[in-house]
Structure 1
Amino acid sequence: MKRFSLTFAAFFVVLFMGSYLHIINGAFDLSLLDVLKTLLRIEPNEKFDLVIFDFRLPRIVIATLVGIGLGLAGVVLQGITRNGLADPGILGINAGAGSAIVIFMFFFQVQVVSADISSWVSIMMMPLFGFVGGILAAALIFLFSYKHGRLDMQRLILTGIAINSGFGALSMYFSLKMNSKDFESAALWMSGSIYNANWIFIVAMLPWIIIFGIYTYKKAYLLDYFQLEEDNIKSLGIALEREKIVLLLASVGLVSACVSVSGSIGFIGLMAPHIAQKLVGVRHQFVMPIAALIGAALLVFSDFIAKTVFAPSELSVGVVVSIIGIPYFLYLLVKAKG
């Protein structure tokens, strides 16, 4: 418990430092005093209000929420499948949710990266469409991954890669049929971007993160049991398949909410659970909160790098996360092979 508390406090500080760097740096630099005065409403300044409340603070909040959601979803998927390489992006759940949202954008002409208050109804509906796409992807993956009544881990990864490619192609097909303005919006969103975040996105995704986040944490003890042999789990009176399906639905809900506001950002759900387990052990009651904090910290720092490294131009945060995540994924593959 002491180890968990220290780790939690340490990553909370890391997240706070990342948020601090994010809010004071950019095309228009701010001092700590400027930020405090603006937040505490002391001598309000219209320019500072615009920079902090309209641009930087929503971006930090969304990066934090998306990191939490992807971190929790990664813990659940790795626990259900008993596979350390399981990740919403690698398994194709991101792609399924993303495809559904691109189709929604195509038919309803929603520009995610330039949305405003007039399109709030469409934005509120996007996580729901993402959920449907994510469920479809997850259903296909698990349908083709079962062998003799059991989940085959090798098939799971291979099927996930195929589903990922298939839904990626579907997204590209619909995005290419859009007009040039909508295509630019969709392409930027698909690469993983939160640079044009606003408070409408936060309102749209927050209920999903809260509801599914609390549910998955309450069921964390089941993920400990899932590491046993299936016959042993059933002997404890646990409805194994039903619990797996419900937890899978919860993780898809988390991923869908994240994808609806940030596009497809991979590897957070892969890295955060692994790092958390190395720091606090394998009990999911402790792994989940730490993985959520690590996911948030990783994404806030990645978005800070995306914003500043090539300023005034910006990278997509999904590209920065991939630069970090791909070597880590290869390391895990080599380690698993060994």
Structure 2
Amino acid sequence: MLRTNRFLLTLFVIFLLTFGAFYLHITNGSFDMSIWDVIKTLLRIDPNPKHDLVIFEFRLPRIVIAMLVGIGLGIAGTVMQGVTRNGLADPGILGINAGAGASIVLFLLLFQMKAKHITDGSWTSTMMMPLFGFVGGALAAALILIFSRKNGRMDMQRLILTGISINSGFGALSMYISLKMNPQDFEMAAVWMVGSIYNANWIFVLSMLPWIVILSVIIYRKSHLLDYFQLEEGTVTSLGISVEKEKIILILCSVGLISACVSVSGSIGFIGLMAPHIARSLVGLRHRLIMPVSAGVGMFLLIISDYISKTVFEPSELPVGIVVSIIGIPYFLYLLVKSKA
């Protein structure tokens, strides 16, 4: 009962923090508005065309994408750390973000640029981007699983080293592909690869929403297995659990989440590292509790980071991936020192 109350209180506090971040994000920027202006616009009370444009075309889709990406990366990070039993595992560090990103940059070069002037083509290609990213992310995950095994088991040191290598390799491939673009498209691709959601729109929201909803439900229904995976593999097998099969399902689902996120926001690292650790410190070690809290923490972190990215150097904008990295790199070093201790 005490654990449940703590879990609900934690979710409530995260909700309040997220609402505060939402308020700051939607009311502040190059065109400031009061909360009453926002409420009137959302409830269609005496609508103002300028307010409609700012809220519905620019700020609201950007906030919704930040929420969805934060949720997806938070859940994917929880899965990666649970499956690998490594608290330093993160979709960005392991190279899955880079694999999905390289695949999507190739997609942009081959298809998106040809269809961008055709409304239907643009819509179709945007909806296909997460699927194309899934191929690259799954390839990166497969390479990591193959090369990180030692004596038939996953070796944690090899996992991190392999992930860093995969990340560097796919990052170089993304840069090489982007150099084939014309200067304008290259500039957009370069900003996107760092991690940015400033060009958000409702088509991007629709393209990633089914992936986030469906895969999050599947992962949550299997979240109890992550508790068992913390035990020795022989013990888990004796319980009648098909360890390899369930791990592959969870990893593929997390790759799908990552691919959907990368397709609209580029490669944003460290959310999948920080959110699960913060969640564990708040609600304990049960993954059925960790997962929703990690999703909420990821959502809050990305909304507040995006707010900082658009206001700190106003009227210029800093890619949100840089802001997250400024927060995430010291946190990663802290975890590294803590794990050695």
Q: After TM superposition, is the score higher than 0.5?
A: yes
Kept in 2, the 8 Å contact 1:63–1:194? The answer is yes
Q: Would you say 1:96 and 2:117 are equivalent positions? A: no
User: Sequence identity of aligned pairs in percent?
Assistant: 70
Kept in 1, the 8 Å contact 2:115–2:122? The answer is no
* Cα distance in 2 between the residues matched to 1:114 and 1:36: 35
Tell me which residue corresponds to 2:244. Answer: 241
Kept in 2, the 8 Å contact 1:113–1:189? The answer is no
Tell me which residue corresponds to 1:85. Answer: 88
How far does the alpha carbon of each residue in 1:20-49 deviate from its partner, in whole angstroms, 9 at most, with x for none? Answer: 100000000001110000000000111100
Given candidates 153, 158, 178, the residue that maps to 1:175 is 178
Given candidates 283, 286, 298, the residue that maps to 2:289 is 286
How far does the alpha carbon of each residue in 1:252-303 deviate from its partner, in whole angstroms, 9 at most, with x for none? Answer: 0000000000000000000000000000000000000000000000000000
* Cα distance in 2 between the residues matched to 1:16 and 1:233: 41
How many residue pairs end up in the alignment? 338
TM-score, length basis structure 1: 0.98
Given candidates 149, 153, 172, the residue that maps to 2:152 is 149
CA 109–124 in structure 1, closer or farther in 2 if over 3 Å, else same: closer
TM-score, length basis structure 2: 0.97
Q: Which structure 2 residues correspond to residues 1-338 of structure 1 after superposition, within 5 A?
A: 1-110=4-113, 119-338=122-341
Measure how far apart 1:109 and its partner are. 3.8
CA 103–78 in structure 1, closer or farther in 2 if over 3 Å, else same: same
CA 59–117 in structure 1, closer or farther in 2 if over 3 Å, else same: farther
Kept in 2, the 8 Å contact 1:114–1:185? The answer is no
Measure how far apart 1:196 and its partner are. 1.1
Residue 48 of structure 2 aligns with an amino acid whose one-letter code is: N
Q: Equivalent residue of 2:195, what SS? A: coil
Runs of at least 5 residues in structure 2 that lack an aligned partner in the other structure: none
* Cα distance in 2 between the residues matched to 1:272 and 1:29: 30
* Cα distance in 2 between the residues matched to 1:267 and 1:331: 13
Residue 279 of structure 1 aligns with an amino acid whose one-letter code is: L
Q: Equivalent residue of 1:139, what SS? A: helix
CA 114–146 in structure 1, closer or farther in 2 if over 3 Å, else same: farther
CA 66–260 in structure 1, closer or farther in 2 if over 3 Å, else same: same
Q: Deviation above 3 Å: which 4+ runs of structure 1? A: 109-118
How far does the alpha carbon of each residue in 1:197-252 deviate from its partner, in whole angstroms, 9 at most, with x for none? Answer: 00000000000000100011000100000000000000000000000000000000
Measure how far apart 1:131 and its partner are. 0.2
Runs of at least 5 residues in structure 1 that lack an aligned partner in the other structure: none
Measure how far apart 1:112 and its partner are. 12
* Cα distance in 2 between the residues matched to 1:8 and 1:36: 24
How far does the alpha carbon of each residue in 1:64-118 deviate from its partner, in whole angstroms, 9 at most, with x for none? Answer: 0000000000000000000000000000000000000000011114499999776
Kept in 1, the 8 Å contact 2:11–2:296? The answer is yes
CA RMSD of aligned residues (A): 1.5
How far does the alpha carbon of each residue in 1:119-177 deviate from its partner, in whole angstroms, 9 at most, with x for none? Answer: 11111000001000000000000100011110000000000000000000000000011
Q: Equivalent residue of 1:311, what SS? A: coil
Residue 310 of structure 2 aligns with an amino acid whose one-letter code is: K
* Cα distance in 2 between the residues matched to 1:174 and 1:119: 20
